[in-house]
Structure 1
Amino acid sequence: MLLKHRTQDNVDIVELGGRLVMADAAQARSELLAVVRRGTGRLVVDLSDVGFVDSSGLSVLIAAFKAIEERSGKMVLAGLSPEIQALLELTRLNEIFLVFADAERAVEYLVSAE
């Protein structure tokens, strides 16, 4: 699991890569929650380089979403593969997460949502 963090227009962008699965979930959760704690309150999780997500991976995304909601922040997802998009729809998480085609569009949304 690869996790990169950068800030653009006062929006935190976390780029994940590889597979978001049980073996990596604890580390990914810890790193993502650290970004939420010290971040701007606006977060894009870019999954464009993620090939597979299991239920543990979904729990990482949910934990980050809950943590940022507690700070009255916003979190959106970007760059989902068709398989990951289908998983969100199957689990009905698409009703919770806003999804954008890419990180740039997600940042534009969060900047305009102020």
Structure 2
Amino acid sequence: MKFAVDKHEKYILVKLNESKLNSLVTPQLKSELILMNTEGQRNIILDLSQVKFADSSGLSSLLVGHRLCKNAGGVFILSGLCDAVARLITISQLDNVLSIVSGTEEAIDLIFSEEIEKDLKKEAK
């Protein structure tokens, strides 16, 4: 699996450099997401702008990322979806579960607003 990782203080950006998100790619993607989570990363942005096709195993890996981040008190955000992948997510009714934005800048803004909200809730207690 080809991918690039860009670590920041509040989040990690993973750019998947594959054209297909299928059963050949997803085992390694799931392993990477689990590893990032165990290393303390709770906010993950997955840039899928290079992905042109996804299947059910690909959707499964996205749900793993979502669950890991949610359980850690963070967010898992998908960005750069092509029409085919977005359609598959919608048909599977996962658009109500997964956080999807158009680009990485929007994803970063979302993470920072979530973090500010968490900090404000802590201060209010």
Do these two structures clear the TM 0.5 threshold for a shared fold by scoring above it?
yes
- Residue 2 (structure 2) aligns with: 2
Cα distance in 2 for partners of 1:57, 1:4 equals 18
Q: Provide structure 1 residue ranges, at least 5 long, that are not aligned to the other structure.
A: none
- Residue 113 (structure 1) aligns with: 114
Q: Provide structure 2 residue ranges, at least 5 long, that are not aligned to the other structure.
A: 116-125
- Residue 54 (structure 1) aligns with: 55
Which runs of at least 4 in structure 1 moved beyond 3 Å after TM superposition? none
- Residue 118 (structure 2) aligns with: none
| Aligned-partner residue type, residue 93 of structure 2 | R
% same residue: 27
TM-score w.r.t. length of structure 1: 0.92
Answer yes or no: is the 8 Å Cα contact 1:3–1:28 preserved in 2. no
Higher relative contact order (CA 8 A, sep 6+): 1
More strand by share: 1
Tell me: CA distance 1:39–1:15, structure 2 relative to 1, closer, same or farther (3 Å): farther
- Residue 25 (structure 2) aligns with: 24
TM-score w.r.t. length of structure 2: 0.84
Q: How many residues align?
A: 114
**Alignment root-mean-square deviation, CA:** 1.3
| Aligned-partner residue type, residue 69 of structure 2 | I
Q: Which deviations, in whole Å up to 9, do the C-alpha atoms of 1:16-64 show, x marking residues without a partner?
A: 1211111121111101221222143111111011121110111111111
Larger radius of gyration: 2
Answer yes or no: is the 8 Å Cα contact 2:42–2:68 preserved in 1. no
